[in-house]
Structure 1
Amino acid sequence: MERFSGSERFSGPDALMFNMETPTTPMHTLKVAILDTRRRGRPVTLGELVDVLPDYLGMFPRATQRVQCAPGRKARPFWVADEDFDVADHLDEISLPAPGGRAQLDAALSELAVHQLDRSRALWALTLVHGLAGGRQAVVVRVHHAVADGLAALNTLMAATSEEGGVVEVAPVRRPHTLPSRADLTRSARRESRSLLAAIPRVMSTFARAARIASDTDAAEHIPRPLTVRRTSFNTPSGGERVCASGGIPLADVQRIAVALGTTVNGALHGIIAGAMRSELADRGDDLTHRSVTVFGVCRDLASTRTRGNEIATAAAYMRTDIADPVERITATAESCAAAVGRRKKVGFEMTDRMSTYTGRLAPTFRNLAAHRAPRIMNTITTANMPGPRQTRWVGGVEVIDWISFALAIAPADVNLTTYSYAGTLSMGLIATPESMPDPHRFLRRVAESLDEVHAALSDRGLLGGDLVRGDR
């Protein structure tokens, strides 16, 4: 791909995320860092951020790039250096009402979740939140999904922070010497279009190979077929509002369950979430005889240190909300998750990259037409689970005591639960529409209750000993 100084064309997956946005479908995620400034002895101020951030944004090229389209080539724009970049344009601050607890923070996040980013500037914004209980603060970064997927966001956190007592190296913003003209971008896009046309036979071959692998897998019975999922109350038609809820469960508890059942943390976690879904669906009067389905992302390379871009492909797995027994539910859900991840790795990531490059706006257009009309959908809920740091991270004398990620609520699967492990906690960020999840905090309580239920069932069967780790849930 041809690049000019300070510019780069959107990849297919990045363009898909960019084009998916509508007035009622915000496509920015929320990354929330809870700060404890007691060692420092004073709170962080907005003025400090304005002064300090430019010394480090050079680590993150997208932080100072804006979107520019070549005439007639709007499906895949270019990232171009923002010659008018001013960090102050991306920063603001708010104060929470008393008592400054989770409920007040989550209410503020619900508002930020629908405050869409200015497309004439770099696609991120930072809000400094004052008034948290215990004198704490929060930094909330809104970042468009076209900029970064979950792994890139986690790597950004790691690069911008250090271990206790460590130092983050300075990386000031560097201005490009020259910027491409609109004619330059148009010529580049035309050359790439010719290359894409020539590559169509290879793309079709890649698609056929992926289809053969998917059909030949031994685990086909454990993986849902596309567009076969029945709608539930999680998938009711919805509007542009969003609700957020944050919480967490101890990582050690889920690890012990995973070991007891011979599965992965990811499988055990999804089985626990399936238990919460079963309780929620039962209370709403949904039919529990059918399986639910989740879609989650599988990273191309978990060891990558990239801080930008989307290099994930989706996998679909059964959430066995149809099974009453908690142990059987986890076992069956975990088996489906493992099969889905295995198939995704066999199929590979090339097809996702190539197809999203060609489809441009077709997938977003289809979603807009079918989201509230199609009788069958792809999934009941969207989930994500990423491994994070084992110890808290620091910025100088400021400790980041929690890190929470909220992804996207996209119809018809408006309920999205993102989990990152952070310093011994599986930190959860739930975002949804109020129509699909009227009480998101209750749902997170159900996750904790499902964990308790599984632990009790395993203990009764002699498969697990000891008490649960009692953390802030």
Structure 2
Amino acid sequence: MTHLTTLDAGFLELEDTDHHVSLAIGAVAVLAGPPPEFDALLDTIGARCMADPRATQVLRTHPLDLTAPEWVDDPAFDLTHHVRRTALPHPGDDAALSAEIASIMERRLDRDRPLWECWVIEELAEYRWALLIKVHHALADGIAATNLLIGLSDDANTTSFASSIGAAKRTRSRPGLALPSLNPLNWLADSVRFSATAGKIALRAAGGAVDLTASLLRPAAPSSLNGPVGDLRRYSSAVVKLSDVDEIAHAFGTTINDVALAAVADSYRAALLRRGLEPRPDSLRTLVPVSVRGTEALDVASNRVSLMLPLLPVDVADPLQRLRAVHERLTVAKSSGQRQAGSILVWATNLIPFPVTAWTVRLLSRLPQRSVVTVVTNVPGPRQPLTVMGHKVVRLLPIPPIAVGFRTGIAIFSYADELAFGLLVDFDAAPDVDELAAGIERGVRRLHRLITTKGRSRRTGGLPLSSNG
């Protein structure tokens, strides 16, 4: 038996406090060709899913939350409860697929069974079919869910962008708590150096805690983007070339994540204007999860994340200035210690008696949440194209959750040469979800067009400060 961590169990508590919410995350693989026979697919997918022990385990809870829930084997496990089949109505286009995704994700997973489902979606246009993997957030974060998805493919050893990022972090020299010397003559100097380094880390984390607390206590500008969440969902997606995003990041000295968030800010700015609202500096405080998962734990089904709470610059009209503002704000957020403070908080909650943390989460989740408007999570996906039973995966689309006043959520997913944005929104609060998705693609195109302007400016001896410069 394995007990849930406080963070994992927190997702159950959040779901329990709002019957409108389903805290499942997911991904959709769109595959080429006709789907295999369902019985053969059931056997193959079942065998691959059950390679993970969580696939056949259920949660055992305890009265009054006196102990954290634990994973136990399900004696009545039935694969047919989890691998399901559906078909799109004619013409089976992207809009029909998005509607089916929303319908599947708005339904809660059954707590009496293992917390996952795999949906076979047939009758897609252009001679395609799809697999949707849906897991509860208590079971996995984005990276863990991605590895579950990779496990369904023909080559489960496919490398992901996450593994390469982790390798780069290991080889990158950065200050930390060095091991003490074995030479007694150096112990005094080592202890002083250790204390100074530990003090700097503690001060940074304390500063980050102050920043996070201040952000959570400061209400965002009122808008229809945050508020109560209903029962129904809408889904849409945007897909851009990863090479274009990488080219933008390289040209302007930012990161791929900066470019993605700048495009998101571009789209939300347009959405606020469509609603007749003035985009303000405090209009879009965004929860940005940050993975703290080591490469040695990439295949562990659990949540290993911290967070940052930057304000995305929807008030900045110029695309290039907006990108630079995103880069500067994320740089400040990273250096402020927000990520370290979040990690320490998550770690510390595991030292507190579980009933205290469970009741606290339950109490806080019932309070109105007005400071954070949306969540944007970036998950590194497979580097190489995948196949499932010999069928090429032509596209991978992520699905985020929404809860606690977030009426819109965006997951970003890299796969081979594409960067996909999956948008899950409250049905009534965001009927313009397709426009939100199109706005992200438009934001990337605007930034990519500026590369030629930048090159032309360099040839004439100047570097533009904005897209109008």
Separation in 1 of the partners of 2:260 and 2:51?
Answer: 33
User: Quick one: percent identity of the two aligned structures?
Assistant: 27
Could you give the per-residue CA deviations for residues 240-295 of structure 1, whole angstroms, max 9, x where no partner exists? Answer: 21111123111111111111111110111111111111111111111223232211
What TM-score, normalized by structure 1, do the two folds share?
0.80
Q: Which amino acid aligns with 2:112?
A: S
Which residue of the other structure, out of 287, 299, 317, is the alignment partner of 1:295?
Answer: 287
Check conservation: 1:257, 1:464, Cα contact below 8 A: no
Q: How many residues align?
A: 408
Question: 2: CA distance between counterparts of 1:422 and 1:464?
Answer: 33
Amino acid at match of 1:281: L
**3-state SS in 2 of match to 1:56:** helix
2:217 alignment partner, one of 224, 227, 233: 227
Check if 1:365 corresponds to 2:340. no
| Equivalence for 1:28 | 24
State whether structure 2 residue 40 is matched by structure 1 residue 48: yes
Per-residue deviation, residues 306-328 of structure 1 (Å, max 9, x unmatched): 24111111211120011111111
The residue matched to 1:365 in structure 2 has which SS?
helix
Would the alpha carbon gap of residues 463 and 330 (structure 1) be closer, same or farther in structure 2, given more than 3 Å must change? Answer: farther
Among 322, 327, 334, the residue aligned to 1:334: 327
1:275 to 244, 259, 266: 266
Is 1:449 matched up with 2:442? Answer: yes
Q: In structure 2, the residue corresponding to 1:340 is in which secondary structure?
A: helix
Alpha-carbon distance in structure 2 between the residues aligned to 1:313 and 1:455: 31
Q: Which TM-score applies when normalising by structure 2? A: 0.80
Distance in structure 2 (CA, Å) of the matches to 1:93 and 1:448: 31
Q: For residue 400 of structure 2, what is the aligned residue in structure 1?
A: 407
| Counterpart check, 1:321 vs 2:277 | no
Residues 56, 221 of structure 1: CA spacing in aligned structure 2 closer, same or farther, 3 A cutoff?
closer
What SS class does the counterpart of residue 311 from structure 2 fall into? strand
The equivalent residue for 2:190 is none
8 Å CA contact 1:164–1:393 kept in 2: the answer is no
Q: 3-state SS of the aligned residue for 1:230? A: coil
After superposition, the Cα gap between the structure-2 partners of 1:333 and 1:221, relative to the gap in structure 1 and judged at 3 Å, is farther
Give the alignment partner of residue 151 of structure 2, picking from 143, 151, 159. 159
1:100-115 to 2 correspondence within 5 Å? 100-115=92-107
The residue type paired with residue 363 of structure 1 is V
Distance in structure 2 (CA, Å) of the matches to 1:95 and 1:23 = 28
Distance 1:441 1:364, change over 3 A: farther
CA gap 1:347/1:411 in 2 versus in 1, 3 angstroms: closer
Q: Is contact 1:243-1:433 (8 Å) kept?
A: yes
Moved more, 303-312 or 130-139: 303-312
Q: Report what 1:142 is aligned to.
A: 134
> Post-superposition shift, 1:435?
3.1
Aligned-residue CA RMSD in angstroms? 2.8
Distance 1:348 1:415 in 2: 23
Any gaps of 5 or more consecutive residues in structure 1? 1-6, 167-207, 466-473
1:61 to 49, 53, 60: 53
Match of 2:241 among 211, 225, 250: 250
Give yes or no for contact 1:57–1:63 (8 Å, CA) kept in 2: yes
Residue 121 of structure 1 aligns to a residue in which SS? coil
Q: How many angstroms does 1:385 deviate by? A: 0.9
Residues 175-186 of structure 1 mapped to structure 2, 5 A cutoff: none
- In 2, Cα distance between the equivalents of 1:394 and 1:367? 41
Instruction: Between 380-389 and 230-239, report the one with greater CA deviation.
Output: 230-239
Distance 2:76 2:292 in 1: 34
Q: Which ranges in structure 2 are unaligned for 5 or more consecutive residues?
A: 159-198, 459-469
Output the amino acid matched with 2:135. Answer: V
